[in-house]
Chains A and B, each alone.
Chain A
């Protein structure tokens, strides 16, 4: 569960200030986050992930307040609790699909890369239709396949909460549908909360509810 109270944040040398009086995402809930460009959608995801720290207010994710953790604690929290999906996939070009999925286990000493984890990565790849691409590097994948790889990478640690920043923004309609279908299926299977930023209002009906960030700020 994600809970935000009286959140306030502003970038140095910027007039923009993000204010969120209250926002809650329940376990297993699928929430779309919409709003005009520059309303702070990506910033909010970064605050929830602990990549940025709020000026004021509280953010609680699964009972943990990332702002109260040390740098190392926030990194561990991010890997253990959250799954992040970005609009531009952000896959490592040097690694094949399987290794991109396993990347969180290679960059966090707290996570143990076992045979069971490898099998889970292959299982995720099978479920997302990537099993024939496991040994291919991102350069040889379609946009939809790249995003599904990024999705598998976000899910491999079994996160309690998935934060997706316009994951379908660069995809054509068929690929968009396939990625969302996989995303919802995997979140439902893991009972993970989903907070997804989108500009595509046509997708809102697929979510449990939508939050317009522009309307939240006082």
Chain B
């Protein structure tokens, strides 16, 4: 067989342009379904892994897909916010330990995830460098975010303004990078984690400014002063960064129970507790929905796979058409090479060996095409994963 492969290789080398066209013509229709299948499988595995590791997700009433995508992957907004009181209500049931999430703002386009230290324990996130969140204004970066923004512990990171044209909107806050997490291969790698209070600070529910309660305050910033209340005008400069010097000046306004949350991850004690907790929130009067993340993601994947089936059918049709074209090309090529085959036969070559020669050429071209398609699909999956 080595002589057959040798002669096939010589023919492929000699007809390198035709061979290259054939290889590309075959590799492209092979690459497309391989890449799509690879990407879908990767997404499926990634989505399911995250969903399986998050038994329950709680949020305001509305689209269950939006809520789960938001709580698990920090994508999009939820239709309705929860209040901090809802977290306490879940905790009060005794069935689960709730982990609050407030994901609304971004810092250089990375989602800022306001949560508690319990989240890191729950996800098993470890610090690669630096320290955990200690004070208001601290942040810990996911591995990808730290790498893409080239930030390390000790650096500062400004949150993105919600709307640059809204002067009454929330102001950017300069966060202090305390630590960088180990890569986890999850959406956590692309997030900026802050304490839930820091998230509310970004929201504008807390602020810090110079003390205007004392009598030696610049009078031009005071609108009204009484025994119990001081009203300042807009000239009063608010701090945009929490520092050891101004930390004590930061304070919250309003009822903490009413502070917003976008989602809650209730970590149930056991499966029974999870069922009981879900039962509590299934009545018609419930204002909070508690979802089994795995079921929602599977439902979502069901929709994706319905679309994928269409692509599969499309790929099959393209494959058949390509196969027919290739058959035509091969038949025409054989006709062109008939004198060559005749020479081989006259010299004593068996017809079967001639057929093997042609088959070896096609097999080699097919194998190279398949290898190229596989490499291309792997590269695409790797690139898309990076992106």
Contact = CB atoms under 8 A, between A and B. Distances in A.
Q: Do A and B bind each other?
A: yes
Interface of A: 49, 51, 71-72, 75-76, 78-79, 84, 86, 90-95, 99, 103-109, 113, 137, 153
A93 B14 contact: yes
Interface in B8-54: 10-11, 13-15
B347 A107 contact: yes
Contact of B346 (A84, A91, A95): A84
B348 A94 contact: no
Given A79-B347, A104-B347, A137 B6 contact: no
B340 A107 contact: no
A103 B347 contact: yes
Interchain residue pairs A-B with the least CB separation, the first 4:
A94-B14, A79-B348, A107-B349, A106-B3
Given A93-B14, A94-B14, A137-B14, A104 B348 contact: yes
A211 B204 CA distance: 114
Classify the secondary structure of B's interface with A.
helix
B304 interface: no
Contacts of A106: 3, 6-7
Contacts of A76: 348
B349 A108 contact: yes
B336 to A, nearest CB: 11
Contacts of B3: 105-107, 113
A92 B343 contact: yes
The range of chain B's interface size is 10 to 19
A71 B348 CA distance: 10
A93 B346 CA distance: 16
A147 to B, nearest CB: 14
A154 B347 CA distance: 9
Contacts of B14: 93-94, 137
Nearest to B11: A94
Contacts of A107: 3, 7, 344, 347-349, 353
Contacts of A75: 348-350
B339 interface: yes
26 contacts: A49-B346, A71-B350, A72-B350, A75-B348, A75-B349, A78-B347, A79-B348, A84-B346, A86-B346, A92-B344, A93-B14, A94-B13, A94-B14, A94-B15, A95-B7, A95-B10, A104-B348, A106-B6, A106-B7, A107-B3, A107-B7, A107-B344, A107-B347, A108-B348, A108-B349, A109-B353
Contact of A78 (B6, B10, B342, B348): B348
Nearest to A96: B10
Nearest to A90: B343
Interface of B: 3, 6-7, 10-11, 13-15, 339-340, 342-344, 346-350, 353
A76 B353 CA distance: 13
A100 to B, nearest CB: 10
Contacts of A90: 339, 342-343, 346
A153 B349 CA distance: 14
Nearest to A150: B343
A49 B342 CA distance: 14
Nearest to B342: A90
A22 B238 CA distance: 121
Nearest to A92: B340
A93 B15 CA distance: 10
A99 B9 CA distance: 13
Contacts of A86: 343, 346
B344 to A, nearest CB: 6
Contacts of B13: 94
Given A90-B343, A103-B347, A106-B6, 20 more contacts: A49-B346, A51-B346, A75-B349, A75-B350, A79-B348, A84-B347, A86-B343, A86-B346, A90-B346, A92-B343, A92-B344, A93-B14, A93-B340, A95-B10, A99-B10, A105-B3, A107-B3, A107-B7, A108-B349, A153-B347
Nearest to A74: B348
Nearest to A108: B348
Nearest to A139: B14
Contacts of B349: 75, 107-108
A93 B18 CA distance: 15
Nearest to A103: B347
A85 to B, nearest CB: 11
Contacts of B7: 94-95, 106-107
Nearest to B12: A94
A12 B285 CA distance: 96
